[in-house]
Amino acid sequence: MSEKPTITVWSDYVCPWCYVGLTEVEKLRETWDFAIEWKPYLLRPDTPEEGLPLPAYIREKMADPDNPLTARAKSLGLTIVQREKIPSSRRAHEATEYARSKGKIDAFHHAVLERYWSKSEDLHDWSVLKAAATDAGLDGEEMQREVDAGQWKQPMLAGIEAGAQIGVNAVPTFIVGNKFIIQGAQQGSAFAQAFERLGATPRSG
């Protein structure tokens, strides 16, 4: 095919499998040339500003050493900390739209996930989001001003609605080349198969 394929991903920062999925996608770049487009999703849309306690059954599952998530994260070299609380991810998603407008969404998205899941930081806290902005080469103060002014709320909601219109109801959900849907944090081989079916060619060497 003449153009490199695009992977469109609906993801929420409070989803640990989205962190795993991000890492699988980043590994793909070693072999494949593709574009990626991150889209927002609210896994828990009713979460208040102050956050919610993580349900006991989820804490127990996360703490289980035999939890598939723990094993998968370890195989990818990821640290996933135990959380006691679920923050609202709306602010982080609006900040992500600011990062998109500056061409820095990939770096910002990675930084927020890493700070939340590996460093146990609160992604609703402006100090954390501004630190992620610095990581990504963005102006954190400008980002906060624009998000607080509501400038990025509608673009965030539009991204969520775009997913709803095509039936996205879980994360991560990947659409490869606007043709193949991959749900969940699948192994890289699932994406490679989709690329091959699209007629994409692996990087040489």
Is residue 94, in this structure, part of any structural domain at all? yes
Give me 8's structure tokens.
């469109």
Q: How far apart are the first and last CA of the chain?
A: 19
Q: What is the number of structural domains in the chain?
A: 1
Is residue 203, in this structure, part of any structural domain at all? no
How confident is the model at residue 1, as a pLDDT? 46
Rounded Cα distance, 107 and 102, in Å: 11
- Which range marks the domain in which residue 135 is found? 6-198
How confident is the model at residue 71, as a pLDDT? 87
Strands 180-183 and 173-176: antiparallel
Is residue 205, in this structure, part of any structural domain at all? no
Q: What is the reported pTM?
A: 0.93
Is residue 17, in this structure, part of any structural domain at all? yes
Report yes or no: 28 and 76 within 8 Å, Cβ to Cβ: no
Number of residues that make up the chain: 205
| CATH value at residue 162 | 3.40.30.10
Query: Could you give the residue ranges of the DSSP H alpha helices within the chain?
Result: 16-28, 56-63, 68-75, 90-101, 105-117, 126-135, 140-148, 153-165, 188-198
Fill in the DSSP letter of residue 202. Answer: P
Is residue 93, in this structure, part of any structural domain at all? yes
What average pLDDT values come out for the chain (205 residues) when binned by 10 residues? 83 95 91 94 94 88 85 91 93 98 97 96 97 98 98 98 95 95 92 93 78
Distances (CA, A) of 183 to 21, 77, 87, 173: 10, 22, 24, 5
How confident is the model at residue 205, as a pLDDT? 55
Query: Which are the contacts of 38, defined by CB distance < 8 A and separation ≥ 6?
Result: 9, 11, 96, 100, 105, 106, 109
